[in-house]
């Protein structure tokens, strides 16, 4: 039984290692156009393989941050629609507070996304050859 568990663990680690080392030439992991654009620029840049792996990982984090922002924006739109349907005066106090929190989160995450994009854009584009700009 212990040998079986060890074998399963070793197989799982092998699968994980394969996923990690599966290369960085497929940009299908990224669905946001901004992230795809940054990844394409990184591939054209003068980066080593390790730097490209690091950039891909950071772009993955950026993609998640953009997804989170999109999620909160959708929740804010739904809350706004609910507020309009019920009427501002009859909208429950707790939902008004939630709506205000959503608005703050959308603004905060939006600011962070914009700042992160500028940082990534700068760091990637400074490695591009002059004629690529």
Q: Assign 99 a pLDDT band (cuts: 50, 70, 90).
A: confident
Q: Are 46 and 126 in contact (CB under 8 A)?
A: no
**How many domains, in total, are found in the chain?**
1
Taking CB atoms within 8 Å and a gap of at least 24, the contacts of 10-15 are none
Does the residue 97 lie in any domain? yes
Q: Give me the domain span that covers residue 96.
A: 25-132
Q: Assign 133 a pLDDT band (cuts: 50, 70, 90).
A: very low
Interatomic CA distance for residues 38 and 129, integer angstroms: 15
Does the residue 69 lie in any domain? yes
Q: Cβ neighbours of residue 32 under 8 Å, at least 6 residues apart?
A: 63, 66, 67
Does the residue 2 lie in any domain? no
- The CATH code of the domain that includes 96 is 1.20.81.10
């Amino acid at each position: 039984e212990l040998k079986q568990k060890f074998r399963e663990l070793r197989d799982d680690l092998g699968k994980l290692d394969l996923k990690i080392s599966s290369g960085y030439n497929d940009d299908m992991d990224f669905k946001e156009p901004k992230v795809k654009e940054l990844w394409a620029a990184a591939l054209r840049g003068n980066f080593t393989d390790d730097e490209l792996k690091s950039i891909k990982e950071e772009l993955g984090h950026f993609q998640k941050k953009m997804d989170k922002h999109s999620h909160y924006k959708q929740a804010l739109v739904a809350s706004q629609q609910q507020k309009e349907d019920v009427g501002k005066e009859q909208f429950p106090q707790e939902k008004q507070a939630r709506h205000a929190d959503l608005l703050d989160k959308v603004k905060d995450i939006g600011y962070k996304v914009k700042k992160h994009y500028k940082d990534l854009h700068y760091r990637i584009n400074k490695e591009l050859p002059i004629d690529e700009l």
